[in-house]
Amino acid sequence: MVQVQVRLPPKTVEELDEWVKEGRFKSRSDAVKTILSFYGEKEKTREFYKMLVKRSEEAKRHPEQLVPLEEIE
């Protein structure tokens, strides 16, 4: 692992400490890593959704290129 220094507002640190105290996370570091991981997954989902919308628009313009779902299995 690489250590990174982050400056946060006092209120944010208080919230992190409260989450650790409540047992939601093992430490501040664990909380930050988990939150960043969730954000990364959210961004991947957003990109996947954009791709699906684009493909859907392409399919409307070129329905002859659609593959029936039955053929995918």
The stretch 24-52 carries a mean pLDDT of 96
Instruction: Look at the block and give the residue holding tokens 């699906």.
Output: 52
**Burial grade of 16 (CB within 10 A; 0-12, 13-18, 19 or more):** buried
Triad 45, 48, 49: Cα angle to 5°: 85
Locus of tokens 């992190």: 16
Structure tokens at 39: 């954000």
Residue 65 lies in a domain: no
What is the CB neighbour count within 10 angstroms for residue 47?
10
> Domain containing 31: what range?
10-59
For the chain, what is the domain count?
1
Q: Is residue 43 part of a domain?
A: yes
> What does the pLDDT read at residue 66?
72
Model pTM? Answer: 0.69
Mean pLDDT, all residues of the chain: 90
Asked if residue 68 is part of any domain, the answer here is no
